[in-house]
Structure 1
């Protein structure tokens, strides 16, 4: 019972990440400068990493010095730049549809890297969720940019590989600390690249500062701690399917902010996405059953042999033999050999 409750709590915590990321597309597209993807990624990663470092106050140790660099480059530096570019080049609906392939990608990468073979229900959930996302988001009126599609697909592949690699390396390391190290390393990689390619940081108005605060603290620091916590304790297929809540959040956010009405097609797509997420739910841990009808085993009698364990086999008296065999200790502990044993 406790294990099942824990799995439900972990699922709910993991869901924080895609919900925050679903709003991140809108915030990035509406409030952040479109021509500064490197600075946008750097100002997303580094503040988040420094905040988490201030909370956990732990430095990398042993192999985590280079692991933090590798994961920071994949999960933060490269991924954030690609997502920033995709958010500016594509409509949110198209970008979210491409990223809806992530559950299937994560399952396929997790198979060789962490020996998690995809379950049939996970594969069915991924297919169902992808169809639902297409129904929700694709109406045929979206502008499609080839560079944007390529950026979104590259972000999908890089993040899927980086997330499964983080799952492989996560044993014995605090989630908060490892997330802080990745974000800090990723931000430090991005700073010199942003300064060299894009010049000074972008001018920051109040809406821009508030947008960067949301992107860095909520959609990055909080979201990645929740996501990596889920990856550590849940199957990659389950976590990937929870990620389908990302486009659901985008659709519901557009409905709430822009006052858009959900069409029948979108409602059907929403139902399919939620069905896909449900198919990936963690399995319940069965309670151990006790067979009360099985007869209890009789303990093996302790025999009088010198080892004191197991039964002793006493040979019957031979004809004419009046004493017990040599070595047999009767009542009082006296051996038969001292009582006239002819042998």
Structure 2
């Protein structure tokens, strides 16, 4: 449904503001600390609210998903944010829909349609126009971090679609945030040492990232992943670079060229094409238990793991 897509789209739109908050409100050169303070407090807050712990296989599944979606993704995200202009860092991840489509074909049995392939290529072309502007500095370590973030998040999306949690949404979100945060905790202190003295501005930035950028946005994202096909969800992530570029233009006075406007239009068009009927070429994949079953989809019956 359109309402489900719109609600899910709020998550990448929020993530598009991460780069502004990181560069303007957080202490410099602390990507691991930013990742830790974004994930662990948010996860603990959700666990206090739901008061439910994982059971059975979900102890290790939460750890795997938390490592992919949080423990590995957030440090790569913040490293890219520190080393690249916001629009550049956000748009490198546009390769993610193509990665998700490939992983979905192997792990979910999802057929890669021509529509999805063309939309993914168009999305990549659009974000490249967003990147190519005067004065943009491409730090290759930052580019590698952004690309690595796209790979691990794509893996988390597909596995999250395959492993459907029986627990409430906030519980599943909290488990992953806590698991990722706990993995980050020792690494943060070993690599970056104790946190520096934090100003009120720093604390406000971390609070925004934890409450809005993690607890709220990940809950919306995982909700969408439960209700929509994996490829539909990942294409919504293309909103993040568009929002990041728009925020950079409005809040930081960054130049917005005709090429960038065209790129944004192409990205939005690719997103719409991927969301139209038949765009995903696949039914909703859900996993409940360990049996394969037939589940009706847009194009007829498909085999899913139930």
TM bin, normalised by shorter chain, reads 0.7 to 0.9
Which of residues 65, 90, 96 is equivalent to 2:59?
65
Q: Structure 2 CA distance, aligned partners of 1:258 and 1:148?
A: 20
Instruction: Give the aligned partner of residue 55 of structure 1.
Output: 49
Instruction: Give the aligned partner of residue 325 of structure 1.
Output: none
Cα RMSD after superposing both structures: 1.8
Q: Structure 1 CA distance, aligned partners of 2:42 and 2:111?
A: 33
Instruction: Give the aligned partner of residue 211 of structure 2.
Output: 217
Which of residues 153, 158, 163 is equivalent to 2:152?
158
Q: Structure 2 CA distance, aligned partners of 1:118 and 1:270?
A: 24
The residue matched to 1:100 in structure 2 has which SS?
helix
Instruction: Give the aligned partner of residue 224 of structure 2.
Output: 230
Change (3 A) 1:269 1:180: same
Q: Is 1:80 equivalent to 2:74 in the alignment?
A: yes
Check conservation: 1:10, 1:230, Cα contact below 8 A: yes
Q: Which has the higher helix share?
A: 2
Return 5+ residue gaps in structure 2 as ranges: 279-296, 299-306
Q: Structure 1 CA distance, aligned partners of 2:196 and 2:75?
A: 15
Q: Which stretches of structure 1, 4 residues or more, deviate above 6 A after TM superposition?
A: none
Which of residues 13, 38, 41 is equivalent to 1:44?
38
TM-score, L = length of structure 1: 0.77
Moved more, 269-278 or 193-202: 193-202
Instruction: Give the aligned partner of residue 272 of structure 1.
Output: 266
Check conservation: 2:91, 2:128, Cα contact below 8 A: yes
The residue matched to 1:71 in structure 2 has which SS?
helix
Q: Structure 2 CA distance, aligned partners of 1:52 and 1:283?
A: 35
Aligned residues: 280
Which of residues 180, 184, 187 is equivalent to 1:193?
187
Return 5+ residue gaps in structure 1 as ranges: 1-6, 287-343
TM-score, L = length of structure 2: 0.86
Moved more, 256-265 or 207-216: 256-265
Which of residues 110, 120, 127 is equivalent to 1:126?
120
Q: Is 1:255 equivalent to 2:286 in the alignment?
A: no
Q: Structure 2 CA distance, aligned partners of 1:98 and 1:80?
A: 15
